[in-house]
A = this chain, B = another copy of it.
């Protein structure tokens, strides 16, 4: 067994009124830090018990008095009305009809009204300004084309901070609705700086100010009809950053004006899963710089008081993406990421910041995010915790973080001793894993994998939200699998490819649905992109395409890399063209068909494409030699540890890598890592049953037997 300190690196949520419980669990879990949470306080007895103290601040919230006095300092957004059909020359649009009136209030001030627009959505044309007028909350449009559909785009204030709104409407909170200030408003910004300064003075016991992110929440739009309460949720959208002031500042800097349509986008908004327009790219950079500049000021205030500034990366985090260009300029002392999954561990671990901390789930709350019970009747928090830990463990073995912790109401753990024990066990495993990394990284295959999508490095590992919020996108399943594999992983954009980004890459992965940001959409109309990837593979690189990689209208193949992949997607344009017949080839590794998709529209472009798996006569997983390199295709990919193993086997088969150099179990249920500096092997059983297996190692092998879900560390 490995030597490690059984204490430290653990942040405990304390709770006033439960002082003894707080101190008992701090001891049991080996905590060195105690924190408060949204809704809990720390009493002097806790604050002075010798632990470091994190204090949570949501900087833009809980300033209702200021917001009441300065309503124009509240945050805003563009919205589009639902469409109204013209039955004649004239129609009336009630802009906010269908939206939740406790969340939004029209901003019909002159600065805002100048940005309002009316659109003929049937003709996809803006209606001339002289053809509509706004009065008493309604827009009257004249000169309509009969039977066309019209919408209005408008600015409104968001009068209820969305996380508070969520907690009220989901958990039946009854307290005052909290509002949120926009730091772009000069008076609000002056107020917030002073407020933070005062706060630091008033909280001398706080070692770390734990900023519940920064200024702008992810976008969450509620409707008034309970058949669709939540109309729109985008965990990385920039729509909530907008205001007339922001638009004017943008225009002054960029020399062109953004319009409502840059945001509304035919009513679809510009969701993060879709490729952005050039205007949106400019706007994002503009906001990222603003957020970083303002955040730097807050961090400086915190530092002046001798405290550290950690940022909790969730909720109001838009513009401060940890892999963004300006993140490190903010000067945070730590990054705290709440996690359900391995990819989130890697996201946190790889960020350029001194301290990396994970907040585990479940949150100590009666119900979980999905509305299912956790610490209440019917809940099994210890099982939930173990599920998440299995995702995290394999990622932490690849790349460590500094700290872990929990959040919420500590008293809820009473009556759940299995949960208390489970956390103690995880904390113990976490500290062992940290110790493994102490003298050097685990061995990896000499394989650099680049995941290619629209956002590149900015959205490394994550697509936007947590796994379960984005699991309709195949890429998050790929990322989750990669998070625990012994390969080097980077995230590159299409621009990167055109600027030498494939240098040093062994395997390029493109995984997404036609038209989305992950597959790439219209970027595939660029022949230089296709040529560069063709060169890359022809000269010995490898390509893995998943679902609808490189799919784009306008070419002679739907998948623009079809000639490399050896498969194409029939979007109907192959009408009357007979597909190649084929026989299924023997797979060079064990397949796991449940991980794949079931697409009906695939066909071979080359009879020599090797079909490893077909469904109803349609290829679902293939290998194809191309030049000195090769390609693999999978119709889909659903994460599980078993699926991750198949991806790893595919990576090895594609590139010809053996696996022993990084250690490799002959059971698909077991993942291993080999730490050459100290000669330790760690073996993790992902199955809920006992497994015996042989692990290939550099120059030998080792037999290992693991209890269900066990992690075992062996000195070689």
Contacts and interface: CB of A to CB of B under 8 A. Distances in A.
B83 A563 contact: yes
B554 A124 contact: yes
A459 B232 CA distance: 44
Contact of A227 (B87, B531, B572, B580): B580
A273 B575 contact: yes
Interface in A270-328: 271-274
A268 B574 contact: yes
Given A147-B535, A538-B85, A572-B516, A122 B530 contact: yes
Nearest to A145: B531
A231 B574 CA distance: 11
A556 B556 CA distance: 26
A233 interface: yes
B234 A576 contact: yes
A579 B228 contact: yes
A650 to B, nearest CB: 24
**How many identical chains are in the complex?**
2
A513 interface: yes
Contact of A122 (B120, B219, B230, B531): B531
B575 A271 contact: yes
A336 to B, nearest CB: 25
A365 interface: no
Nearest to A229: B578
Nearest to A80: B556
A576 B237 contact: yes
B273 A531 contact: no
A6 interface: no
Interface string A619-649: 0000000010000000000000000000000
A532 interface: yes
Interface string A501-530: 000000000000111100000000001001
Contacts of A232: 576-578
Given A121-B555, A266-B556, A531-B147, A273 B516 contact: no
A714 B627 CA distance: 74
A553 interface: yes
Contacts of A121: 555-556
A271 B576 contact: yes
B269 A576 contact: yes
B85 A563 contact: yes
A659 interface: no
Contacts of A244: none
B123 A274 contact: no
A146 interface: yes
A536 to B, nearest CB: 9
Contacts of A266: 555-556
A273 B515 contact: no
Contacts of A580: 227-228
A274 B573 contact: yes
A534 B271 contact: no
B83 A531 contact: no
Given A123-B527, A268-B574, A274-B575, 13 more contacts: A124-B527, A147-B531, A147-B532, A147-B534, A148-B527, A227-B580, A234-B575, A267-B556, A274-B572, A514-B571, A514-B572, A516-B572, A516-B575
Ordered nearest first, which 3 A-B pairs have the shortest CB separation?
A273-B575, A266-B556, A147-B534
Interface of A: 83, 85, 87, 120-124, 145-149, 151, 219, 225, 227-228, 230-234, 237, 266-269, 271-274, 513-516, 527, 530-532, 534-535, 538, 553-556, 563, 571-582, 607, 627
25 contacts: A85-B538, A85-B563, A87-B627, A122-B534, A123-B527, A124-B556, A146-B531, A146-B535, A147-B531, A219-B576, A227-B580, A228-B578, A228-B579, A231-B578, A232-B576, A232-B578, A233-B576, A233-B578, A234-B575, A234-B576, A266-B556, A271-B577, A272-B575, A272-B576, A273-B576
